[in-house]
Amino acid sequence: MSLLDVVAIVAAGFAAGAINVVVGSGTMITFPTLLALGYPPVVANVSNTVGLVPGSLVGAWGYREELRGQRGRVLRYGLAAVVGGSGGAVLLLALPPGAFEAIVPVLIVLACVLVAAQPWISRRLKDRPPGREHGGPVVWLLVLLTAVYGGYFGAAQGVLLLAVLGLALSDSLQRLNAVKNVQAGLVNLVAGLVFMVVADVDWAVAGLIALGSAAGGLLGAQVGRRLSPLVLRVVVVVVGVTAVVVLVLR
């Protein structure tokens, strides 16, 4: 690994950590970066998931003020995140590598669409009357399925989670985003633990991403709401399209 590779991976981890807290699509920065550096898709995915765990945890901690009074929500949907994240990680390892390579371009295109539609999702959530919470088992199941996706790949899982939580929770967007950060952090954590035990993790790559993502998560939690969502969204979509092109050419 060259010095340029090290800088690129740490920088990608930093950007991903910040974007995950604010938008929820950091994998679309780190994953294409690792592909461009020549890492196999499955190795890149598992190493990326492990590396993003510190950033997810730091980001969730940074939103602790917005989490006040939401313990019940966090526990209720946290169970779905843990079960689904574990299932998605096992699914990734159980399917042949060829299946992952075939599915990922479709997932990235879906993630790009979700990121592009995020302003519309946010407006829909913001306009809902306060004080409503319903959905019960259906919403819990949707969180579970989103967590399975997050454990399997993870790009734009934050956007998916935010949309799903909006079906059940009427609250400020920042408080919903705080719950989303905890759920995404749990998914990354349990999937990362599975990968640490049974997958082919490139620990050098995971460590570099962890270093960058922790710093990025801290920054994202502190100043992410001051950044232009449009700029972040354009970057994520451009990188996502680049990832699709790289995968297709491979």
Tens of pLDDT, residue by residue over 188-224, are 899 989 998 888 899 999 999 999 999 998 888 776 6
Q: Give residue 3's identity as a one-letter amino acid code.
A: L
pLDDT band (50, 70, 90) for residue 37: very high
Interatomic CA distance for residues 102 and 131, integer angstroms: 43
- The structural domain count of the chain equals 1
Is the confidence at residue 125, as pLDDT, over 70? no
Residue 80 confidence class, pLDDT cut points 50, 70, 90: very high
Range of the domain at 130: 3-249
d(CA 193, CA 86): 9
Q: How many CB atoms lie within 10 A of CB 7?
A: 12
Q: Which of 96, 92, 89 is nearest to 192 (CA)?
A: 89
